[in-house]
Amino acid sequence: MRELTGADAEVMAMVEPLLAILGVMLREFARLTKQVVDIVRNEEVCRRLKSAPSVGPITALAFRATIDRPERFGSSQVVGAHLV
C-alpha cells in the first residue's frame, strides 16, 4: 500500500486504520461463513435444499430458519403466502 500512496504520511494515517478494519471484517466473515457451512452440513433439510440448483448454504439455512416447523403448513401454497 505504501508504494501506491508514495508513503504519504497523511494518506497512510487514514488508510491504515481502514485496512485494519477490513482485515478484521474479512476474518469475521470467514468465521461466520464456516459456521453456516458446518450447520448446513449437519442439517438434513438444509442438505436437501442445497441440492436444488442455485441454492447455497446461506439460502438453505435462511429458508430452514424461516419455515422452522414445516408441519404447521397444510400445503406449499400456504408456505408461499407465509414468505410474502
Both 29 and 48 in one domain: the answer is no
User: 22-75: per-residue pLDDT in tens?
Assistant: 999 999 999 999 999 999 999 999 999 999 999 999 999 999 999 988 889 988
Both 9 and 37 in one domain: the answer is yes
* Helical residues (DSSP H) of 1-84, grouped into ranges: 2-5, 9-42, 44-50, 57-67, 76-83
- The number of folded domains in the chain is 2
User: 4-20: per-residue pLDDT in tens?
Assistant: 556 688 888 888 999 99
Show the domain range for 9. 1-42
Confidence of residue 81 (pLDDT cuts 50, 70, 90): confident
Would you give the end-to-end CA distance of the chain in angstroms?
A: 46
